[in-house]
Structure 1
Amino acid sequence: MIKNCITTSIFDLFKIGPGPSSSHTIGPMKASLDFLAEMNALKPELLTEPLAIRIHLYGSLSATGKGHGTDRAVIAGLLGWTPETCDPVQFSLILKEITNEYTVKVQGHTIKVDTNSIIFEKGKYDSPYANTMVLKLLIQDKVLLQHEYYSVGGGFIYRKGQKISTTSDKTPKYAYSSMKELKAHLQQEQITLGELMLANEVALTGCGKKEIERKIDTILDFMHKAVRRGLKDKRILPGTIKLHRKAPLLYQKAKKLALTSDSFLIFLNAYCLAASEENAAGHIVVTAPTSGASGVIPGITYLLKTHFHYSAAQMREGMLAAAAVGFLVKHNASISGAEMGCMGEIGSASAMAAAMLAYCTTQNINVMESAAEIAIEHHLGMTCDPIGGYVQIPCIERNAMGAVKAYNAFLLATAGDSSLQKISLDSVIKVMKATGKDMSKKYKETSEAGLALSATEC
């Protein structure tokens, strides 16, 4: 058995929830929901009036939490809302007014929470992760319960001393932690990547193959609903930037140029912008692998479905290939913008999309690996420097650029001999991790440098 093998499910990687940031909205919502359960598990005799809740946000959660909706997310979780089922309209109304107050129910007690319950800590905090939250239940000034949470990208969270909502306790049928080990299974067992991934999903989730396939179809449906909504919605995006949506106009232009040779690229850009603008609006999207990168794979898959007429079976195969690459990046580096910069988000999504395109076309694991490696290689060092802390500039257009890079990586991988590729996927992921570690924190989702300072009038 391979030690520290990947035990993440495809349904952990592709999660449904509200935008604009999986690490700043979905993760914190899950953390506060977990804290709500922990409060309700306390011995009743410990709870005496007056009770209060305090949420301390550190790192990128503090720096860009306002623009990313972290304050709304922690309140939503304390109210018992979940990312998968919350109403995005109601979610957007939380704390719309500074005087808004909410009631948290704990074992018959009512605890009032408002903007004063959330503290954006600007100082340094000794933590192993960039996005840290500390939640406290107080009786007057005495701490009755305290938990430290880490939002590590893509809506995954850890609680200090315990992993939650991240990995399965079960063992995959084919254990691996690198592309080298994954390829060894395929060669030894003489099975396809799709067969291996499905077998692992069965082992990790306990679901049958038909149920897993149905759930993948549901994920794709949510992705494509976001694209379709975004192609129609012309409203200005929320926030102080007052950014106008581009997807509807670009889509109309694409239709007028439908007979030109490169029209599919215009359509692809429109589809990616549409889903990403929906994310920026705080609407329901799918983490792919993060909310900030939730336009790349939805745009690619919408193109494959509506223009190239891929079958449902082909789309599932592509999603499994994308997940395999996403698992490797998450396991051996990070998909978090606060850890890796934008190469962790758009870079990962681009690699996943390139793998999807290559595998659907060739069914060749070596070509798939080359496509993914090329995509990551050409996102190395990309900063995460959102203007105003909003997932808008440069995030929205980067989704379209990431998809185009994915398509080009696919072309480069399929045009040559993949056996001649000098850099392996495992190697480039190691470089990615080292680059993220060396990158200044100013360029990792803090809005303290780069483009974030280039348009102060926004």
Structure 2
Amino acid sequence: MQAIRELYKIGRGPSSSHTLAPERACRLFVQEFGEHPYYEVELYGSLSLTGKGHNTDLIIQETLPGKVEIKWKLEWKEDFPNGFYLKAFNEKKELEHIWTVFSLGGGSIQVLEKDFDFNDEVYVENNFNEIKVVLEKKQWDLLDYVLSYEPDILSYLEEVILAEMNSVSNGLKREGILPGNLKLARCAKDLFELAKGDERLQIMSYAYAANEENASMRTVVTAPTLGACGIIAALSYYLVVDKGYTVSEVAKALAVGGVFGNVIKQNATISGAMGGCQAEVGSAVSMACAMLAWIRKENLEVIESAAEIGMEHHLGLTCDPVQGYVMIPCIERNSQGILRVLDSVHLASTLRKIKKGRINFDTIVETMKETGRVMDIQLRETSKGGLAKFYKDSQC
């Protein structure tokens, strides 16, 4: 499995696969080949189908230093469904360099023509059952396991927690209309003000705040994606501001959540284009469940059970962003996701006092992968099905 550091990235919204990944690829392309006067970018898959709503073209044009032509394509000969060709031309408009870039989800990329160390395998274990064997043999906690492979990660994760908290605090202050054709009004601030004494509504407002920042192309964190950024951001803000945990303590919990995110990423997907929203919101809920259970000092059985429950009840969740914007139903979905976290951890800690669990985490990840595989392509971030198909402006 790759480094947990690769799972959490601080960057601009609204989409880790549609803005963060292309921006990252373009920056690396310029670093590799220098500046050129002309560029051409051919977008395929969901990058083409929903790129306008996600501002993919805008972020590419802002990142590349020359004149940029964007081409929206549908027929893609590569094996991975979500990607683009990035080309650089000289003054005579002769092609000099080309990269084939795959947007893997969560802002992660793979380039066919070049290997990057951030794609290196860091962890030897490939699933949670293998991890449990190591924990039992060495008498380790999940945090010990992470630090054995990434000993310096906690200082970075503290930066991540602060960025998440900033996305919530900033989102709770802002008012107005979110960018784009939907003309959707921000409501995190109003939700928070109406939530006096209602903890569940209050924590939902935190998720709204982070996701509204994401929709506004402001700085947020892939956790594990930007479409699902509000869930762990809301939990982190809640733990520090409302429950009095230190940033350092929550960063450790984030490392534990990253173990479960890595298992999902390794054995299924965190990409909405590959697996639907179960791969985004479902994964974020699962990771946040592990975080919350760990910081509450639950045992390994409860932590795994909570993460499994969090994913199990998002199986089949479609990715159907209206007009391609990470707004409807994405923002509301995050607010429901953080409640699923609270409920899943409470249920897991109670159930494991009564009986053993039947479904382990690896089984639910395998199930999610198969569910995504058989899910219709129209329901996987193409904006061709679901709410994206049936939504009418008059309903707003």
TM range (shorter): over 0.9
Q: Which residue number corresponds to residue 155 of structure 1?
A: 107
Secondary structure, aligned partner of 1:135 = strand
Distance 1:360 1:176 in 2: 23
Distance 1:379 1:240 in 2: 29
Q: Which residue number corresponds to residue 135 of structure 1?
A: 86
Q: Which residue number corresponds to residue 267 of structure 1?
A: 202
Aligned length: 392
Distance 2:352 2:255 in 1: 24
Whether contact under 8 Å (2:17, 2:105) holds in the other structure is: yes
| In the alignment, structure 1 residue 455 sits paired with structure 2 residue 391 | yes
Percent identity, aligned pairs only?
38
Q: Which residue number corresponds to residue 67 of structure 1?
A: 53
Distance 1:393 1:382 in 2: 14
Whether contact under 8 Å (1:31, 1:77) holds in the other structure is: no
CA drift of 1:34 comes to 2.1
Distance 1:230 1:196 in 2: 34
Secondary structure, aligned partner of 2:42 = strand
Q: Which amino acid aligns with 1:53?
A: Y
Match for residue 441 of structure 1 among 373, 377, 386 = 377
Judge which range, 425-434 or 26-35, deviates more: 26-35
Whether contact under 8 Å (2:110, 2:119) holds in the other structure is: no
Whether contact under 8 Å (1:158, 1:166) holds in the other structure is: no
Q: Which residue number corresponds to residue 76 of structure 2?
A: 125
| In the alignment, structure 1 residue 21 sits paired with structure 2 residue 15 | yes
Secondary structure, aligned partner of 2:296 = helix
Question: Pairwise mapping of residues 29-428 of structure 1 onto structure 2 (< 5 A)?
Answer: 29-40=23-34, 52-79=38-65, 104=66, 112-113=67-68, 117-121=69-73, 123-138=74-89, 142-164=94-116, 166-168=118-120, 171-172=122-123, 175-202=124-151, 207=152, 212-255=153-196, 258=197, 263-417=198-352, 420-428=356-364
Distance 1:192 1:70 in 2: 41
CA drift of 1:7 comes to 2.7
Distance 1:182 1:162 in 2: 31
Cα offsets for 1:75-130 (capped at 9, x unmatched)? 23323xxxxxxxxxxxxxxxxxxxxxxxx3xxxxxxx23xxx00011x22122222
Distance 1:221 1:275 in 2: 12
CA drift of 1:142 comes to 4.5
- Unaligned runs of 5+ residues in structure 2 are none
- Unaligned runs of 5+ residues in structure 1 are 1-5, 42-46, 80-103, 105-111
Cα offsets for 1:360-379 (capped at 9, x unmatched)? 11341111110011111100
Cα offsets for 1:25-50 (capped at 9, x unmatched)? 01001111222233239xxxxx9xxx
Distance 2:47 2:376 in 1: 17
Whether contact under 8 Å (1:157, 1:165) holds in the other structure is: no
Whether contact under 8 Å (1:157, 1:166) holds in the other structure is: no
Distance 1:29 1:294 in 2: 18
Computed over aligned residues only, the root mean square deviation of the Cα atoms, in angstroms, reads 1.8
Q: Which amino acid aligns with 1:184?
A: V
Secondary structure, aligned partner of 2:207 = helix
Q: Which residue number corresponds to residue 85 of structure 1?
A: none
Distance 2:164 2:319 in 1: 23
Cα offsets for 1:137-179 (capped at 9, x unmatched)? 235564322211000111000001544364346x44xx21111
Secondary structure, aligned partner of 1:328 = helix
| In the alignment, structure 1 residue 11 sits paired with structure 2 residue 5 | yes
Q: Which amino acid aligns with 1:179?
A: F
Whether contact under 8 Å (2:22, 2:60) holds in the other structure is: yes
Alpha-carbon distance change, 363 to 303 in structure 1, aligned in 2, over 3 angstroms: same
Q: Which amino acid aligns with 2:12?
A: P
Q: Which residue number corresponds to residue 86 of structure 1?
A: none
Cα offsets for 1:240-292 (capped at 9, x unmatched)? 0000111111100112xx2xxxx110111010100011101110001111111
Alpha-carbon distance change, 358 to 76 in structure 1, aligned in 2, over 3 angstroms: same
Which ranges of 4 or more aligned residues in structure 1 deviate by more than 6 Å? Answer: none
Distance 1:235 1:35 in 2: 36
* TM-score where L is the length of structure 2: 0.95
Alpha-carbon distance change, 313 to 18 in structure 1, aligned in 2, over 3 angstroms: closer
Whether contact under 8 Å (1:267, 1:303) holds in the other structure is: no
User: Which is greater in Rg?
Assistant: 1
Q: Which amino acid aligns with 2:80?
A: Y
CA drift of 1:307 comes to 1.8
Distance 1:271 1:312 in 2: 17
Distance 2:62 2:21 in 1: 12
Cα offsets for 1:159-218 (capped at 9, x unmatched)? 01544364346x44xx2111111111111001111111112112xxxx4xxxx3322211
CA drift of 1:322 comes to 0.8
Q: Which residue number corresponds to residue 101 of structure 1?
A: none
Q: Which amino acid aligns with 2:79?
A: P
Distance 1:70 1:25 in 2: 5
